[in-house]
Amino acid sequence: MEGIVIRQIQQQDNAAIANIIRNSLAEFGANKPGTVYYDDTTDDLYQLFQTPGSIYFIAEENGVMLGGAGIFPTKGLPNGVVELVKMYLSPASRGKGLGRLLISKCLQAAKTMDNKKVYLETMPELKKAVSVYEKFGFEFLKGPMGNTGHFSCDVWMIKEL
């Protein structure tokens, strides 16, 4: 993906990535309570991802933010399990393999941090994302793990690293 830069989140990225996240959820009718749409942390992801065991990647091209994704040691998850979180792309950047690139980067980071599994939560409204996760080998779970607070997410998946 020529011209695409993947880098760690910086303080000045907060507003742009929050905008991409909220606009994506609204676009798919998933802007409801119990999602990151209403999380206070969505407006300060840089600070959130200072948490040990977490990392957030921003994708940009020619200085324009395209989206991001991260891993986070969500409260209540077993040792060795992190969550793939806040994986969102702007509409113009979808369908070009960027999501796969970000997921790969997150899975590699999770492995580097000695995690054994990666968990995620999503919604049926985000069908395309679910099919991408399946291609990466994520498998469906019958219920949630950990304590994300995202009660509107009713698709749960996990992958062994």
Q: How far apart are CA 84 and CA 72, in angstroms?
A: 7
Q: Which domains does the chain have, with CATH numbers?
A: 4-160 (3.40.630.30)
Residue-wise pLDDT tens digits, 119-158: 999 988 888 889 999 999 999 999 999 888 888 889 999 9
Q: Amino acid identity of 155?
A: V
Residue 83 forms beta bridges with which residues? 72, 119
Give percent of the chain above pLDDT 70: 100
133: Cβ–Cβ under 8 A, 6 or more apart, which residues?
103, 120, 122, 157, 159
Phi and psi angles of residue 77, each rounded to the nearest 5 degrees, phi first: -75, 145
Residue 102 and residue 66 in contact, taking contact as beta carbons nearer than 8 Å: no
Phi and psi angles of residue 26, each rounded to the nearest 5 degrees, phi first: -65, -40
For tokens 């994300």, the residue is: 148
Helical packing angle, 98-112 and 127-135, nearest 10°: 50
For tokens 């942390």, the residue is: 41
Q: Are strands 117-122 and 81-89 parallel, antiparallel or unpaired?
A: parallel
Question: Which stretches of 2-154 are assigned E, i.e. beta strand?
Answer: 4-8, 55-61, 64-72, 81-89, 117-122, 139-140
Q: Of the candidates 58, 25, 12, which has an alpha carbon nearest to the alpha carbon of residue 125?
A: 25
CA angle (150 as vertex; 67, 156 as ends), nearest 5: 80
Residue-wise pLDDT tens digits, 76-116: 999 999 999 999 999 999 988 999 999 999 999 999 999 99
Predicted pLDDT of residue 126? 85
pLDDT(9) > 90: yes
For the ranges 52-56, 63-67, 147-151, the lowest mean pLDDT is seen at 147-151
Predicted pLDDT of residue 132? 93
